[in-house]
Structure 1
Amino acid sequence: MLKAKHDDIPEILYRIGDLADQAGLPCYLVGGYVRDLIMQRPCTDIDIMVIGEPVPFAKAIAEQLGGRNFVLFERFRTAQIELDDPEAGTFKLEIVGARKESYNPESRKPITSIGTLEDDLSRRDFTINALALRLNREQRGELVDLYDGQRHIREKLLKTPLDPEQTFSDDPLRMMRAARFACQLDFRLDEATLEAMEAMSSRIQIVSRERVSHEFLKIMAAPKPSIGLKILHSTGLLKEIIPELDVMAGIEQVDGLGHKDTLFHTFQVVDNLAEHSDKLWLRVSALFHDIAKPVTKRFHLGSGWTFHGHEAVGVKLVRRIFRAMKWPMEPMEYVQKMVRLHHRPIPLSKDEITDSAVRRLMFDAGQDLDDLMTLCRADVTSKNPRKVQRIMKNFNNVEAKIAEVGEKDLLAKWRPPVSGTDIMEMLNLPQGKLVGIIKSRMENAIIDGDIPYDRQAALDFVSAVYREMVEKREA
């Protein structure tokens, strides 16, 4: 049996073990913290399990060790506390009692009862999380490993402690966690676990969309999201969660002409982007950049496959997916902008670049222009090194032109020199459609180079446009 070194465990946790001795309770570190301790990964969320009543023990910890933000879930025999360790920093603790669980087939909410250490470890999702480390002074630091969790950590293998179909039937969210752990830890799933996920994939529908979304976004935040995304696709979970993505898979052939597999191209784009950016919603933008290709796909004799308008249709699909996944709506406009504009820099990279075309891109992308260019570079997935080199060189030319134009006419400020409020005050107009039309014409004139990026020039243009509109109306 493995025994942890004293220095491996923060002193504050040994003090909790001493309190457990005073209360006469067997006390263990369990779950992810033990796994990460073995893997030498940082972790500040700690689960502590006692064999007995956890609530009085949790209160004793809070009182005697200076815990704060104490939250009690008496129905679940669970408490949450934050503790400070002078050397290791702040820890978030969850104090639970050992329990066994049973499930109603129509719900993932367990019916719990007081259990033994063995009961508690057997109900865990994966063997690598079914580990317990003793905190009591007697046998302190000894590891309880009933399901070969240490060996599976060494083998980088994800496996359930009990029958995987039963494990996933009881709590289908564990299937999402399997995909998430695979890409967070770079582990593989054993064959029986994968087969069970495929067999049970439809049961993910009984899980709240908020919980599913939480796990999905953790996959998107992983170092290599495609590992988890491919697992979701191969097991049928992706079809259950975001069917608009799943239908992107496959290559359709007509007259011997096929198009690339859009789904696996997309997975590669997400990975490419993940190498250069941790921005979650930019990664989501990469995932959805071609989301409308299946519905805009057309085959034309002589010219092959086209996807005309997939950017505009994609914007609508993004809204639908955000609502279905119950994601926060605040980042939706950003994702829609990335989807709408992701092809815009590509023609600029091929042709001689005009100032007006660059201004239009700068104005439409605004402060997100750097993110857009990062997405465009990630969208290059050719296996031809010379082609990639040529495309990247062209993108460099576009970025150089952007810098040149931005410096020349101050469009890098991303705001028109005259606002809608300025127009209303200058022309004594109420807020409405007319002000928007005048403002749009002024912005387009600046972008197209018809007038300089200058406040007075913009005001003069606004005045001239208004006079023209009045004259036409009176004629």
Structure 2
Amino acid sequence: MVTTVPDILFRIGEIADRSQMGCYLVGGYVRDMLMQRPCTDIDIMVLGDPVPFAKTVQKELGGRNFVLFERFRTARLELPDPEGATFTLELVGARKESYNHDSRKPITLKGTLEDDLSRRDFTINALALVLNHEGRGTIVDQHCGREDLEKKILRTPLAPLQTYSDDPLRMMRTARFAAQLGFTPAPEAVAAMATMHERIRIVSAERTSSEFLKIMQSPEPSVGLKLLHETGVLAEILPETAAMAGIEQIDGLGHKDTLYHTFQVVDNVARASQDLWLRIAALLHDVAKPQTKRFSKHAGWTFHGHDAVGVRAAARIFREMRWPQDRLVYVQKMIRMHHRPIPLSKEEITDSAIRRLMFDAGEDLEDLMTLCRADVTSKNPRKVARIMQNFGNVEKKIAEVGEKDLLAKWRPPVDGLEIMQELQLPEGRMVGMIKKEMENAIIDGTLPYEREAALEYVREAYRRLSGDGPPAAGK
């Protein structure tokens, strides 16, 4: 008997007994319980009408935030556990499903326990635990899910071609569980993904994106990313990223495989940071290299401007993947600046250069340095040690400058509106040029951070740039 099931869930089984209904814990909760992983989202399936049953559970056990989906024969509610936890329950009736070829939305009918378990994505999710008094705590395992759990294998209950054709999002879920749990997809599942990869096109961008971001949040995202790439799914959902794959050679000179380099950079960042959008920046930092790749007999392979082109590519990708626009600016900054610290690490570092890096990176300086370190993927340990030491010198110089917090939140002592008022100028190119000059002078240390000094600099800059003197101050 399984003893880790909270008693309040067995009380739900007692309510089902009064109506002579079979009642089971199903899906991810059973899997996570056997793996001793935390899980508070619980699916309970009954062999009968779940709607009146759910209402009874809510009434007798003090359920909160009750939501009923009568069309889908589903209810959701929260149950407080006496030990202090809160469980989110979804109560459903057993069902069987069929699909139209051009849709992943199932046509559902009342079904048996066998019907319900066989329609699941993986055998490890096709487990049921009895909540009724008879057989209480025993596990129903019709598809060898417990064996697959022990072997850490992802296998589909039905033929994988049927499973992925019915719901192509399951291909994304295969990659996600491989990355999240460290499980290995069965060979027939991988083969089916390669055969069915084009069917991912019928899935909405929102659903595809949700699974993709879960892969990126996993401990080792490259596990899922490589599976998506090698089966062709990645080229369907993120063609710009898949295009980075491959090595081209001319005159015996080749370049590194940008895609697999990128996968390694993503993993390096994942080991250093939980920040999802820094991981996305790592994924996209070289996304424009295929477009900017050139070969010169003198210089070899070059990728000039791939940072600027990558900024534009990121905007397209965010739009197509329905990613939040408020994170785009951050990711674009990381792409635009990911090479900035490298030259500093190779030369005598001036205070001025460090101030400019700190000013441009702002509050994201630490993230930028994390990305730059992650971008070092050479297999030559001496080269890696040398580069890392140089990055350490840059970080030491940042600490020595001693203005990190100030520059991260830096604002000019005089803004553009004040410049317009002071010089009686309309908004335009001249105002922008003067403002940029003033900011550069302060960052370079040639102009003190003082309002009156800044205004005097503004007036002098206007005289120099326009060949004319401005009106008297304040007029």
- Normalising by structure 1, we get a TM-score of 0.96
Is 1:284–2:280 an aligned residue pair? yes
CA shift in 2, pair 1:404/1:457, >3 Å: farther
Contact 2:179 2:221 in 1 (8 A): yes
1:396 to 375, 392, 405: 392
1:344 to 340, 344, 362: 340
Look up the equivalent residue of 1:420 and give its one-letter code. G
* Cα displacement (A) at 1:16: 1.3
Is 1:322–2:321 an aligned residue pair? no
Look up the equivalent residue of 2:242 and give its one-letter code. D
1:449 aligns to what? Answer: 445
* CA deviation string 1:89-139 (max 9, x = no partner): 111111111000000000000000000000000000000000000111221
2:126 aligns to what? Answer: 130
1:354 aligns to what? Answer: 350
Structure 1 residue matching 2:128: 3-state secondary structure? strand
1:247 aligns to what? Answer: 243
Distance 2:429 2:230 in 1: 50
Equivalent pairs, count: 470
Distance 2:56 2:405 in 1: 66
Query: For the aligned residues, what is the CA RMSD?
Result: 1.7
Is 1:233–2:204 an aligned residue pair? no
Stretches of structure 2 that go unaligned for 5 or more consecutive residues are 471-475
- Normalising by structure 2, we get a TM-score of 0.96
Is 1:222–2:194 an aligned residue pair? no
1:331 aligns to what? Answer: 327
Contact 1:130 1:147 in 2 (8 A): yes
2:301 aligns to what? Answer: 305
CA shift in 2, pair 1:160/1:370, >3 Å: same
1:458 aligns to what? Answer: 454
Structure 1 residue matching 2:87: 3-state secondary structure? strand
1:85 aligns to what? Answer: 81
Look up the equivalent residue of 2:414 and give its one-letter code. V
Distance 1:93 1:345 in 2: 50
* CA deviation string 1:312-364 (max 9, x = no partner): 00000000111111111110010000000000000000011112211221111
CA shift in 2, pair 1:63/1:419, >3 Å: farther
Is 1:204–2:179 an aligned residue pair? no
1:171 aligns to what? Answer: 167
Matches within 5 A, 1:49-128: 49-87=45-83, 89-128=85-124
Distance 2:81 2:425 in 1: 63
2:416 aligns to what? Answer: 420
1:385 aligns to what? Answer: 381
Distance 2:452 2:11 in 1: 71
* Cα displacement (A) at 1:86: 2.6
2:258 to 256, 262, 284: 262
Distance 1:175 1:335 in 2: 27
Distance 2:453 2:139 in 1: 75
Greater displacement, 357-366 / 224-233 = 357-366
Contact 1:36 1:43 in 2 (8 A): yes
Structure 2 residue matching 1:275: 3-state secondary structure? helix
2:5 aligns to what? Answer: 9
Distance 1:396 1:66 in 2: 57
* Cα displacement (A) at 1:18: 1.6
Look up the equivalent residue of 2:438 and give its one-letter code. M
Contact 2:76 2:89 in 1 (8 A): yes
2:29 to 33, 39, 47: 33
Distance 1:336 1:149 in 2: 43
Contact 2:122 2:154 in 1 (8 A): yes
* Cα displacement (A) at 1:149: 0.3
Structure 1 residue matching 2:198: 3-state secondary structure? helix
Structure 2 residue matching 1:331: 3-state secondary structure? helix
CA shift in 2, pair 1:299/1:444, >3 Å: same
CA shift in 2, pair 1:254/1:473, >3 Å: farther
Distance 1:290 1:227 in 2: 19
Contact 1:349 1:395 in 2 (8 A): yes
Contact 1:410 1:453 in 2 (8 A): no
Look up the equivalent residue of 2:78 and give its one-letter code. E
Distance 2:409 2:433 in 1: 22
Structure 1 residue matching 2:326: 3-state secondary structure? coil
Distance 1:22 1:467 in 2: 91
* CA deviation string 1:289-324 (max 9, x = no partner): 000001100010132100000000000000011111
Greater displacement, 445-454 / 361-370 = 445-454
Contact 1:409 1:453 in 2 (8 A): no
Is 1:185–2:161 an aligned residue pair? no
Distance 2:10 2:279 in 1: 41
Contact 1:126 1:159 in 2 (8 A): yes
* CA deviation string 1:426-448 (max 9, x = no partner): 44555554433322221122223
* Cα displacement (A) at 1:453: 3.2
Contact 2:362 2:407 in 1 (8 A): no
Structure 1 residue matching 2:48: 3-state secondary structure? coil
* Cα displacement (A) at 1:63: 1.8
2:365 aligns to what? Answer: 369
